Homo-oligomer: A and B are copies of this chain.
Amino acid sequence: MRSNEVKNRTNVDDIKSLRLITAIKTPYLPDGRFDLEAYDALVNMQIEDGAEGVIVGGTTGEGQLMSWDEHIMLIGHTVNCFGGSIKVIGNTGSNSTREAIHATEQGFAVGMHAALHINPYYGKTSLEGLVSHFNSVLPMGPTIIYNVPSRTGQDIPPRVIHTVAQSSNLAGIKECIGHDRVEQYTSNDIVVWSGNDDQCHDSRWDYRATGVISVTSNLVPRLMRELMFGGKNPALNAKLMPLMEWLFVEPNPIGLNTALAQLGVVRPVFRLPYVPLPLAKRVEFVNIVKELGRENFIGEKDVQVLDDDDFILVGRY
What residues make up the interface of A, taking CB atoms closer than 8 Å to B?
1-5, 7-8, 29, 31-37, 39-40, 59, 62, 64-65, 68-69, 72-74, 76-77, 79-83, 95-98, 101-102, 106, 109-111, 118, 120-126, 128-130, 132-133, 136, 149-154, 250-251, 254, 271-275, 277-278, 313, 315-317
Residues of B contacting A271 in the complex (Cβ-Cβ under 8 angstroms): 97-98
8 CB contacts below 8 A, A to B, read A1-B33, A1-B34, A3-B37, A8-B80, A69-B106, A101-B316, A124-B151, A133-B272
Residues of B contacting A36 in the complex (Cβ-Cβ under 8 angstroms): 1-3, 109
Number of copies of this kind of chain in the complex: 4
How far is A227 from B164 in the complex, measured between Cα atoms in Å?
Answer: 44
Q: Which single residue of chain B is at the shortest CB-CB distance from A314?
A: B98
Contact A65 B111 (CB under 8 A): no
Given contact pairs A40-B4, A129-B275, A124 touches B80 in the complex (Cβ within 8 A):
no
Q: Which single residue of chain B is at the shortest CB-CB distance from A126?
A: B250
Q: Which single residue of chain B is at the shortest CB-CB distance from A278?
A: B128
Contact A123 B68 (CB under 8 A): no
Residues of B contacting A129 in the complex (Cβ-Cβ under 8 angstroms): 250, 254, 272-275
The distance from the CB of A253 to the nearest CB of chain B, in whole angstroms, is 9
Q: Which single residue of chain B is at the shortest CB-CB distance from A255?
A: B126
Given contact pairs A77-B110, A79-B80, A110-B73, A150 touches B151 in the complex (Cβ within 8 A):
no
Contact B73 A123 (CB under 8 A): no
Residues of B contacting A65 in the complex (Cβ-Cβ under 8 angstroms): 96-98, 123
The distance from the CB of A37 to the nearest CB of chain B, in whole angstroms, is 5
The distance from the CB of A317 to the nearest CB of chain B, in whole angstroms, is 6
Contact B315 A3 (CB under 8 A): no
The distance from the CB of A163 to the nearest CB of chain B, in whole angstroms, is 14
Q: List 7 other contacts, CB 8 Å, given A1-B33, A151-B153.
A: A76-B76, A97-B315, A121-B122, A126-B254, A132-B315, A136-B272, A153-B153
How far is A36 from B140 in the complex, measured between Cα atoms in Å?
Answer: 13
